[in-house]
A and B are shown apart, each in its own frame.
Chain A
Amino acid sequence: MNEQVVPNCIDLAEISLWDKALAGGKALSLGQLMDNGFNVPGGFCITTKVYYDFLTLTGLDKQILLELHRKSISEMRWEELWDASLRIRNLFLKTPVPPIIASEIKKWIQSRLGNKNTVIRSSSLEEDSAKSSFAGLHESYVNIQGIPDILDRVILVWASLWSDRALLYRKELGLDVLHSKMAVIVQEFIDGEKSGVAFGISPFHEQEAIIECVYGLNQGLVDGVVAPDRWILDRETGRVISYTQEEKDFIIKSVQGGKESAKVEKRKIDPGAASSPPLSGEEIGLVFDAVKKSGEIHGGPQDMEWTFASNKLYILQSRPVTFVDKDEGEGKIEYYSKKWYLSLHKSFDSLIELREKIEAEIVPGMIQEALSLSKMDLQSLSNKSLAAQLIAREEMVQKWEKTYWDYLIPYAHGFRLFGEVYNDKMKPHDPYEFIDLLSTGTTESMQRNQLLSEVSRDINENENLKQEFLTSGKTSDSTMNARLEALFKNLGYLDIGTNEKRKLVLEFLGRLDVHPGKTREATQRSIASLEKEFLSSFPAESREFGKELLDLGRHSYKMRDDDNIYLENIKKERNRCLNEILRRVKSRLPDTIDKELIPSEEMVKMLHDSKYSPQMPKKESEFDGGPRKVFSRQVKGQPACKGIIRAKARVIRTRDDLLEIKPGEIIVCDSIDPNMTFAVPLCSGIVERRGGMLVHGAIIAREYTIPCVTGIPGATEIIQTGNEVTVNGYLGIIIIHDVDVI
């Protein structure tokens, strides 16, 4: 095609097969539906040419390349991808649309849609093909009015090509990330009274089709906030085979001047509607005919979104069905191949629901579980009962770990959602500025560190008490004894059972007293002004939403740390069981075995069979065997807390290594969790293998204003304890000084 005739925008009604590379799968599908007489809301498509022009005219293409080349995408964990995605999104937000592009889009909005409210949808090139659906991966914005707001949303849809979910999906499908392109659909918004999805083929029975419907708009159904009524139909005839009515509490409706992040909101449903099916028999027939005909046009069964407004059926989008996860869910229909990372994208309402569940059920449940386990006297159990207890406790740990992944990990999206809104509103130079607003220093781990600091100060002031403790494991001061016991309990992660371990902790407290670390209280004032500026950016009528969002962000940020502590308290009880078994079988274990690494099932076998020798798992190394010939001397990771420090490294491989840390050393570890962060006040820098700005190492480093670099592959293998290391938290670089070949 001659470049001079490549269009910037195309009317949806005029899109043909030839335009697929310009308009993307979704826009092409709508064009074909219009061509075949379907009632599709009018609008136009901003082609991939405009996206390309935007990137090249502003230089964003090169900046994205630089961002994604920090590390190979195939090596990035999702948290690192999320970070890259956040930075790229911020680049889009900060980059003004060149006037030549803005005026072209304005012209099309005015001529095709006038003052109508609009929907802005993604239409990337790979989207909605028969092999990949991209459903729910890119952004869509509903009920947007006015040219400036529409333009802002177009940019956000472009940016969503680089969302964490989209990057992960492309990575999984092996698609070319760097050359992805995005077209955008700008369409009239239809304020539907009832809406839904229709599937031309059921994931469970090839002879069946499915229709789901909710009152109001589709967003509640798509986000999983509102449960739909469901009809199973004969795929050939459309005969209704079954109908399932769901309890209807809420409805998603459009609002004018509503919450900043969305122009729709969740409302209580009218009592009359709650008990009646949203679709009549005739309407079910209309939807079924539409999805069947769309399948014929597109050459395969379709997954179609639709809405009824003023008794008229509108088709909103149609894409090939790309399920099926037949094995997932008992009796529950999973329509898309629901990958775990889709759960990372949660709307405000569903996060609030999640918070309620976490506060009312999950956290109290975890605390109670650990408490009741702690009351059991394990020493009095027979070998058989102890083995049974270990199996039961392993199952409990697995159960709570599943809860952690199913509920607590997705809940972390609360502060990510806050970060996105903050960046949208404030357009800060530093895309992580929002973290300052979330960090209130009230996490369980920070409170534990406070206790640690106070006890270390007090016991180190009194040399007599200290000596008494070192001699007998107790002091003559009952209050101090109680405080020390409370402290040991808080440091449960270390399995402090013996006097020997207690003495090690006391020595650690001595070093901590000399070097108590510095938290970032000095910045509290600037946090208050940031908060004020953030809330002021909301119009008066939606400022309350800004406060709710900040509150959600703070709670989610705190929970990100606290949930690890609660989970560890349960694991600690499992470990107590393991320690009791170890005590009983210790004499049968060779000294060379790392007892922390013996699997539970091997422990059980040892209890049952007095001659059994445990099988140890093989440890995998980043390096091949034999003498080392390759040495890392400078490695680029991710800057996670600003500052630069050159000091000796302390590599953390086991829990007890934490007690060995000397003041001013740099902690080098695979990954820090909040149970380990009691040692952070002593250190001068942190290097972590796990990458990301929001991993625990990065969070605690910011609390103590310690230079931190994350995402250093094989950190604990390329650095040895005692190496002199520079941690450059400005640039995300570590330098190992005493590895010098020349």
Chain B
Amino acid sequence: MGKEKRIVDHIRTLFNDQKLGVFISLRKEYPYPTLVAFYATPDLKTIICATSVNTRKYENVMKNSHVSFILDDCKNDPEDFSTSSVITAFGKASLVAEKDGIEELVAQLKKRHPLIVDFFDAPSTRFITMKVDRYQVITRFQDVREYVP
């Protein structure tokens, strides 16, 4: 298996295994992290999550579309220095008021998180689609690679 495929598979596996991730928008000069339920497309080009209107991240994305998204598989033990990884996606986000054009993405998001379908269906909920420009993959604590989907 080539190095690129291994990295892509690693990203895909982590994005498939983890149900929640940290979505980071910008608020004034600070990064603004929030925990979200998400779905990533198999080609890793798009990540979708949801928010209620009037939240901080809703306001932030309205003002500045530059966002990032972080996942990790740390187990909180000494092995983390050698076995765990942290993946950050960088890209641009947009808010979708209606489901027009993203029905399939929303369906996948609901399928992945059936317990919070009521949240997705609430009239006050908006979907955030993030177009990923690149991934940063950190393994063995200090190995850093980048991948452009």
The answer to whether A and B assemble together is: yes
A contact residues vs B (CB 8 Å cutoff): 59, 62-63, 66, 633-634, 642, 644, 646, 726, 728, 730-731, 733, 735, 737, 742
Q: Identify the 10 closest CB pairs spanning chains A and B, nearest first.
A: A730-B122, A726-B54, A644-B124, A730-B124, A742-B30, A728-B124, A66-B115, A735-B54, A731-B122, A728-B52
Known: A66-B115, A731-B119, A731-B124. Contact between A634 and B28, CB under 8 A? no
Chain A nearest CB, measured from B109 CB (Å): 16
Which residues in A have their C-beta under 8 angstroms from that of B125?
730-731
Chain B nearest CB, measured from A735 CB (Å): 5
Question: Complex: how many Å from CA A673 to CA B123?
Answer: 29
Closest-by-CB residue of A relative to B28 is A742
Question: Complex: how many Å from CA A726 to CA B56?
Answer: 11
Any chain A CB within 8 A of the CB of B101?
no
Closest-by-CB residue of A relative to B59 is A737
Closest-by-CB residue of A relative to B121 is A730
Question: Complex: how many Å from CA A62 to CA B27?
Answer: 34
Any chain A CB within 8 A of the CB of B53?
yes
Q: Are A63 and B54 in contact (CB under 8 A)?
A: no
Chain A nearest CB, measured from B84 CB (Å): 27
- Report B33-64 residues with CB < 8 Å from chain A CB: 52-56
List 15 A–B pairs whose Cβ atoms lie within 8 Å, in order of A's numbering.
A59-B115, A66-B115, A66-B116, A634-B55, A642-B123, A644-B123, A726-B54, A728-B124, A730-B52, A730-B122, A731-B124, A735-B54, A737-B54, A742-B27, A742-B30
Chain B nearest CB, measured from A431 CB (Å): 12
Known: A644-B54, A742-B28. Contact between A63 and B115, CB under 8 A? yes
**In the complex, given contacts A66-B116, A728-B124, A730-B122, what are 7 additional A-B residue pairs having Cβ atoms less than 8 angstroms apart?**
A66-B115, A634-B56, A730-B123, A731-B52, A731-B119, A731-B122, A731-B124
Chain A nearest CB, measured from B20 CB (Å): 14
A-side interface mostly: mixed
Question: Complex: how many Å from CA A59 to CA B117?
Answer: 14
Chain B nearest CB, measured from A709 CB (Å): 12
Closest-by-CB residue of B relative to A729 is B124
Which residues in B have their C-beta under 8 angstroms from that of A62?
115
Which residues in B have their C-beta under 8 angstroms from that of A742?
27-28, 30, 32
- Report B89-117 residues with CB < 8 Å from chain A CB: 114-116
Question: Complex: how many Å from CA A730 to CA B52?
Answer: 10
Q: Which of B55, B114, B119 contacts A735 (CB 8 A)?
A: B55
Chain A nearest CB, measured from B29 CB (Å): 8
Closest-by-CB residue of B relative to A646 is B54
Question: Complex: how many Å from CA A731 to CA B119?
Answer: 7
Chain A nearest CB, measured from B98 CB (Å): 16
Question: Complex: how many Å from CA A360 to CA B30?
Answer: 66
- Report B112-149 residues with CB < 8 Å from chain A CB: 114-116, 119, 122-125
Which residues in A have their C-beta under 8 angstroms from that of B122?
728, 730-731
Which residues in B have their C-beta under 8 angstroms from that of A644?
52-54, 123-124
Question: Complex: how many Å from CA A63 to CA B32?
Answer: 30
Which residues in A have their C-beta under 8 angstroms from that of B124?
644, 728, 730-731
Chain A nearest CB, measured from B103 CB (Å): 21
Question: Complex: how many Å from CA A737 to CA B115?
Answer: 28
Question: Complex: how many Å from CA A264 to CA B69?
Answer: 61
Question: Complex: how many Å from CA A728 to CA B123?
Answer: 10
Q: Mark B1-40, 1 if CB is under 8 A from A, else 0.
A: 0000000000000000000000000011010100000000
Question: Complex: how many Å from CA A59 to CA B114?
Answer: 10
Closest-by-CB residue of A relative to B32 is A742
Closest-by-CB residue of B relative to A730 is B122
Residue of A63, A633, A731 ringed by the most chain B CB atoms within 10 A: A731
Q: Are A733 and B52 in contact (CB under 8 A)?
A: yes
Which residues in A have their C-beta under 8 angstroms from that of B27?
742
Known: A742-B27, A742-B28. Contact between A728 and B119, CB under 8 A? no
Which residues in A have their C-beta under 8 angstroms from that of B28?
742
Which residues in A have their C-beta under 8 angstroms from that of B123?
642, 644, 730
Which residues in A have their C-beta under 8 angstroms from that of B116?
66
